Amino acid sequence: KNEVEQSPQNLTAQEGEFITINCSYSVGISALHWLQQHPGGGIVSLFMLSSGKKKHGRLIATINIQEKHSSLHITASHPRDSAVYICAVMGDSNYQLIWGAGTKLIIKP
Partner 1 sequence: EPEVTQTPSHQVTQMGQEVILRCVPISNHLYFYWYRQILGQKVEFLVSFYNNEISEKSEIFDDQFSVERPDGSNFTLKIRSTKLEDSAMYFCASSEASGKTIGSYEQYFGPGTRLTVT
Q: Site residues (CB under 8 A) for partner 1? A: 30-31, 33, 35, 41-45, 48, 50, 86, 88, 90-92, 94-102
* Residue (69 or 104) nearer to partner 1, CB: 104
* Residue (80 or 95) nearer to partner 1, CB: 95
Least distance CB 109 / partner 1 (angstroms): 27
* Residue (42 or 109) nearer to partner 1, CB: 42
Q: How far is CA 19 from the centre of its chain?
A: 11
Residue 24: count other Cβ atoms within 10 Å of its Cβ: 17
Least distance CB 29 / partner 1 (angstroms): 8
State the DSSP code for 79.
G
State the DSSP code for 89.
E
Least distance CB 75 / partner 1 (angstroms): 22
Residue 8, preceding peptide bond in cis (omega within 30° of 0): yes
* Residue (43 or 76) nearer to partner 1, CB: 43
Judge whether 60 and 72 are in contact, CB under 8 Å: yes
Q: Is the dihedral of CA 96, 36, 44, 67 positive or negative?
A: negative
